[in-house]
Each structure stands twice: as C-alpha cells, then as structure tokens.
Chain A
Amino acid sequence: MTTTAQFQQNAVPAPVLQLTGIRKSFNLGQPNENEILHGIDLTLQPGEFCAVIGPSGSGKSTLLNTIGLLDRPTAGSLRIHGIETTSMNDTELTDLRGHQIGFVFQHHHLLSAFSALENVVMPMFGDAGFVTLAMQERATALLDTVGLLPWLHAQASHLSGGQQQRVAVARALVMQPGLILADEPTGNLDSKSADSVFELLRRVCQEHRTAVLFVTHNPLLSARCDRTIQVVDGQVIV
C-alpha cells in the first residue's frame, strides 16, 4: 500500500507533523561524527503557522531537510499525518513528500526553462506523468491567488525576485499539501516584497488549512506567526 493511500485511509485526525526525539548526525560511526540535532520534539497542527528562528549553524536547515524527508534522521520518530516515516524506503518517502510537503526555498529555485504556469503545474505533472486541463486550471487559479495572472506564461527567469517567490509559493501549494516548509523565503527580498510574500503565505495557508514551518531571521515576521520555536545548538527551545 502506498503512503498516500495509507494517509487517505487514516480516519483519526492526527497532527500534521509529530517529531519525537529526532537526532541527526553526519559521518555516523566515523571519528569525525557530528550530531547536529540532539533529540528534537515538535508537533504541528493543521493550519498552524510556526516561525523557526535561531542563529546560523544552529541546525535549522538540517531540521527542515529532515522534516521534508530529504534527509533521514539518525534516531527518533517522525510522523506526517500520523504515519511513521523513519522506516519508509526512498520510493515511499518520495511519494509522501510529493503529496504532503511543499517547499519554498530562500532562493526561489524555479525551473528556468519553464514558464510560471508550467513551474506550478510541474509537481502534478510529475506525479501523473501527463498534463491535464484540470491541472492547468488549478495552477492558473493559484497563480491568480498570488497575483501573477498577467505573468502566467512569462519565463520564470524573466520575473522579479518577489514574483519568482510568489510562483514558488503557488508551486508549494499546488498539491494541497498538509505542510509547507519555508526556508527563509523572504531572506533575499526587500522589506516590501518580504512582507508581501509573508502575508501571501499566511493568507493562502490559512485558507487551505496548511501548516507552515517558516524559517526567518526577521523578528518582525516571526512575531506575526502563531508561535515561534527557537533552535539553538540543535535543540528546540519553545
């Protein structure tokens, strides 16, 4: 049974994200073994907008990569919608990631060879193998939501930084994931654009009841989140 099917059959409402004693070490078993995350516990409910703050090198990105199923934890339990992920194989993790987790990176990371619309369609396209009209309509509606309807067919590389980040937000939302991981999405934007992207993410995620982990160094933005967790030396201080 696929992880998506497991998720769909899970009748009992569960937290979107549940981390228990998550540890992550690099160079495991070697003399230079380095533990970055030291037993992190964290729970996120649907629609919750949570800021993640902390100094550089504290383990924020490692935490996000682990939650995003891009990296495997060394120890602990990681549940997405109640489904334990630590024992999953790569295919199952990819499937779960594709359907339940959206990413917004600091550097928008759009596919430059594709238009704004195509970038947003891409996760659905990859999942289904072919493009349908319904997919294009959904992507268009999302781009409309983020205010980019006039730039639907503009090449991604021709958009401004703020516009590209909006496309990235729309792309993160297109699969209707339960969780969005935003790793300093406003870090490279001017304050006006940063504020605009933040508000957009907050509004759209509230509408879709999507939980968000929002990494930021900006105290003004973190203050506007539902709650803030601080990561210091690989540990979460609530």
Chain B
Amino acid sequence: MKISSWQPFEWVVALRFLQEGKVQTLFIVTGIAIGVAVIVFMSALLTGMQSNFVNRVLTGQSHIQLLTPKETAEPLDRHLSGTKTLSMSIIQVPLQRFKSIDQWQSLMIQLSGMPEIKVVSPAVSGSALALRGEASRSVTVTGVLPVFYFKVIPLQEKIVAGQANINSESILIGTELASDLGLTVGDKLRLTAANGRQLLLTVTGIFDLGNKSANSRVTYMALRNAQSLFDLTGGATVIDLVMNDVYQAEITARKIAQLTGLQADSWMKTNEQFFTAVKAQTTANTAIRFFVALSVGFGIASVLVVSVVQRSREIGILRAMGITRGQVLRVFLLQGGLLGLGGALIGSAIGASALYAWQHYMRNADGTVMFALKFDTTLLFQTLVLATITGLLSAFAPALRAARLDPVVAIRG
C-alpha cells in the first residue's frame, strides 16, 4: 500500500498498526460491532414497543379527561372553631351526583386557545342498560359531537361493520356487545338509564377498540341523545382533550385543574402502571446501553494496552527518529477512535439487518406486522459518534502510556 500525500502521519501509522495486528483488530472490531448491534436493535425494539403500546392506549382514550370535581364531606367544627379540640366523628362519604360541568361551553373556548391543546371535545358519559328481547347488558353510554370526538378517537378507523355515522337515531356498539345481544347493523337497541328514561336507537356501526372488555361495554351516540337519556339538557359531564405532545399531558392536566377546579386526569395518571412499566423499560434500556458502552470501552483499552506493550520498541524507534510525544499520543488515540467507528459502522449494519429480519419474520398470527420498528437515523448517528468518542476516551490511558515511554527503555525492549 502506498502512502498518499493527503494522509497525515498519525493516520498512516495508526492504520498500519491496526492492519498489522489483523487478528487483534478483527476480534475487537467484532466485539464492538456486537455491542453496537445490541444497542441499535434493543433501542429500536424498545422504542417501537413503547410507541406501539402508547398508540394502543391512546387510540382508545383522550390524553386528558376533565370531569366534575368529586363531592366531599367535611366536619363543620373544622370551619366553625379555630380551637385544637379533637372531636370523634364518623364522616360519611357523600354520593357522587350525576351533574354537568359548569359553563362547559365557555370552558371549551378557553381550552381551545391553549397552544399545547390540539382538540377539545365535550361528552356526556354514564351507565345504562342495553336491552334486546330478554337479553340485557350493562353498558357505558358516551354521547359525543362526532366532528370533535372523531379527532380524539378515530372511531371511523375502528369500524368493522356499518359506518361511523352518529345522528339523532343511531348508536355505535362494540363487537362483543353485538355478539352478546345478537345485534347487526340496522337492528334496534333499547337503552334504559337509572332515572327510567329510555331511548330506542338503530345500530349503524360496530367497532373493535382492540380490547374485549371495552368492546362489550362502550357505546357511542349523539350528545343530544345522551343528554336526553341522562336528563342533562345542554350539559356535558366530560371534556376530552388531545395534546400536541402526549408526554406533556400530566403537566397540562395539573395546570388546568388548578385553573378550573375540575378533576383533570391525564392518560399517564389513568394508566399509571403502564407508564411505570414504560419508565422501567427506558431505564433498563439506558442501563444496557451504558454497560455495553462500558464493556466496549474496556475492550478497546485492553487491546491498545497490549498493543503499546507489543509496539514499545517501535515507539522507541519512532521517538529516536524525532517523532514527538504528541504524535505518538495521537497515533494511539486515532487507533481507539478508528476501532470505535469501524465497530459502530459494522454493528449498525448488523443491527439494521436484525431489525429488517424482525420486521420480515416476526408477525402476528394473522400475518400482520407485530409492531412497526423504525431504524432511527438520529440513533445511528448518535451511536457512531458515541462509539468513536468511547474509542478515543478508552485509548487515552494506553496512548498516554505510549507517549510517556522512555525511548531508551523502549528500544531496549
């Protein structure tokens, strides 16, 4: 191989040293590549899984739900006297009355003006009994304005029979409820509320929310119908919000609760266990990345330490020729950086291939993709930079050792 005029001294020497120690170089590059492939694959897998879970959770619910605050009972003496008298009392928890959010129309306008909120949708939600012949099922009735609500939950995408058509005479029901009550599109369904009011509606669509329990319980109808069923003319018991950034939901929920006095539940709060699992996964992923990077770093350092020992005589000769300590330092730092970068490039290719294989072979029973994995170019770039920096940092101690070698001792070997 010929030295080109554009190649700097340190680059040429570092490359030749790596080329000469072929087996060592091959082993450490393979080690780094495996580490990087694990990082790339695991990160994409976990990100894919998380985004898949989040999507599944959020396709069935809003990001924030505003409800009327719960009524609480407090002993009177706490308000009447400022004394520290301790009174023994039993406080009975009050019944939660079914009531509308006060001034919900003006609140909607106010919420629509908040930059972090994308969609505001009012609803009336309550329990009723669905009756057909002798069969009956307890259901949750959600009365919505389709123009807003379909932006919260894209029901039109979940329809398996009929249409997502909500008008004054129609109702949408889940697949399980349809099966339980023997309903198909066009059939009539009677709903009875606790107050005795009844509605007779036509099933215009059957949906699948991807959850058996939800499919047997949830029903959707026009807001006016629900208001009429629950005797809440002009009212709304729930306001659903969709955020621009789903992960800001909890912060915004707290802000709104403070401003309005309403109960504001973010999707993070209502799915706390799921969110804890997501956090645990993220922490585990970070820990895996850290330990893989650590082992890659130690691998590079150990190989270079051995290389410095093996090449001490050559280092001595270079120093005798007038090569400076700085040049020797850079030769070994470059080797570390090159090992890191080379390993990362190969590792990224392996990781990408593994992701492709996953997408290709790991399928659901029906042949659909288990969940979409994305090969993130930002992650790839970060991995390359991090691996190179890890290589440089790992090479620092061996490089310093090489630069500090006494040429007399080094030449003597």
Contacts and interface: CB of A to CB of B under 8 A. Distances in A.
A and B associate? yes
Interface of A: 65, 68, 70-71, 90-91, 94-95, 97-99, 103, 105, 109-114, 118, 121-123, 125-133, 171, 175
6 A-B pairs with least C-beta separation: A98-B322, A113-B16, A113-B20, A123-B321, A126-B323, A109-B317
A126 B331 CA distance: 11
Given A109-B313, A130-B6, A114 B320 contact: no
Contact of A70 (B314, B323, B407): B407
Given A71-B408, A113-B16, A114-B16, A131 B322 contact: no
Given A114-B16, A130-B9, A109 B3 contact: no
Contacts of A114: 16
Interface in B177-192: none
Nearest to A71: B408
B9 A94 contact: no
A158 B7 CA distance: 25
Contact of B314 (A98, A111, A132, A133): A111
A114 B313 CA distance: 15
Contacts of A111: 16, 314, 317-318
Nearest to A172: B321
Given A70-B320, A126-B322, A131-B4, 6 more contacts: A70-B411, A71-B408, A111-B317, A111-B318, A114-B16, A122-B318
Interface of B: 3-9, 12, 16-17, 19-20, 313-314, 316-325, 327, 407-408, 411
A126 to B, nearest CB: 4
Contact of A109 (B5, B20, B411): B411
A130 B8 contact: yes
Contacts of A97: 320, 322
12 contacts: A70-B319, A90-B325, A94-B325, A103-B320, A109-B313, A109-B314, A111-B314, A113-B19, A125-B12, A126-B321, A131-B4, A131-B7
Contacts of A132: 5
Chain B interface, DSSP helix/strand/loop, else mixed: helix
The interface centre, meaning the residue of B17, B317, B322 with most chain A CB atoms within 10 A of its CB, is: B322
B7 A130 contact: yes
A114 B16 CA distance: 8
Given A70-B408, A109-B313, A129 B322 contact: no
A129 B6 CA distance: 10
A94 B12 CA distance: 21
The interface centre, meaning the residue of B20, B317, B319 with most chain A CB atoms within 10 A of its CB, is: B317
A131 B5 contact: yes
B325 to A, nearest CB: 7
A112 B17 CA distance: 9
Contacts of B318: 111, 122, 126
Nearest to B326: A91
Contact of A91 (B20, B319, B324): B324
Contacts of B6: 130
B411 A131 contact: no
Given A109-B313, A129-B8, A130-B9, A175 B322 contact: yes
B9 A126 contact: yes
Contacts of B321: 98, 103, 122-123, 126, 171
The interface centre, meaning the residue of A97, A111, A133 with most chain B CB atoms within 10 A of its CB, is: A111
B9 A123 contact: no
A127 B322 contact: yes
Contact of A126 (B19, B314, B327, B408): B327
A139 B107 CA distance: 86
Contact of A131 (B3, B16, B20, B323): B3
B322 A94 contact: yes
B372 to A, nearest CB: 48
A121 B411 CA distance: 20
A175 B324 CA distance: 16
Contacts of A121: 3
Given A105-B411, A109-B411, A111-B314, A68 B5 contact: no
